[in-house]
């Protein structure tokens, strides 16, 4: 019975984390629309969940962003916008995969930082490559613009990791209280 309860607790934590992740992506989507920090989300997903779950979370964040964009922010429905929406989804998944590779290879703080940097570099490099291939020009890839996007992604990355740490601390505190209050 206790194994079943611990499994349920683990499942509830995973569901809560996924819901938090998606809710944060919706909030960020309204705040930054096309500058959603997908690389930051992808890196945190890779650091906090198993590979399959990280890819699913990253896909859910992308889907939530696209839903907000088309339903509430009135993204145009032309072919190029739809193409870019799909491209961003694929790029986000590749960013998650690159972050996961480094996170698994280098655990700890350095691995977390490397995972974020990898996700960001993959994300921006692929955005640049697709932009160059589709022809609108790469004039907007200036140091100030890329720096702004970097700090938005890093802010999301740090905020999500702090949320995860706070939730873990609360869960640990509640568990400690529960076990401390049981008579022997």
pLDDT tens-digit readout, 107-123: 889 999 999 999 999 99
Helix (H) or strand (E) holding 156: helix 143-180
Percentage of the residues of the chain whose pLDDT score is greater than 70: 86
CA-to-CA distance for 62 and 44, rounded, in angstroms? 14
pLDDT band per the 50, 70, 90 thresholds, residue 166: confident
Token pair, residue 64, equals 């939530």
pTM of the model: 0.86
């Amino acid at each position: 019975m206790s194994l079943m309860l611990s499994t349920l607790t683990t499942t509830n934590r995973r569901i809560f984390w996924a819901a938090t992740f998606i809710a944060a992506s919706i909030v960020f989507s309204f705040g930054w629309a096309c500058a959603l920090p997908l690389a930051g989300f992808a890196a945190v997903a890779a650091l906090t969940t198993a590979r399959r779950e990280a890819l699913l979370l990253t896909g859910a964040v992308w889907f939530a962003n696209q839903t907000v964009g088309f339903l509430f922010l009135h993204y145009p429905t032309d072919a190029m916008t739809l193409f870019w929406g799909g491209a961003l989804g694929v790029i986000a998944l590749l960013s998650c995969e690159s972050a996961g590779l480094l996170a698994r290879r280098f655990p700890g703080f350095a691995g977390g930082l490397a995972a974020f940097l990898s996700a960001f570099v993959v994300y921006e490099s692929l955005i640049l490559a697709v932009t160059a291939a589709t022809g609108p020009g790469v004039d907007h890839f200036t140091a100030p613009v890329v720096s702004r996007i970097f700090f938005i992604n890093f802010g999301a990355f740090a905020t999500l990791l702090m949320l995860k740490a706070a939730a873990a601390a609360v869960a640990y505190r509640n568990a400690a209280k529960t076990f401390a209050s049981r008579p022997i």
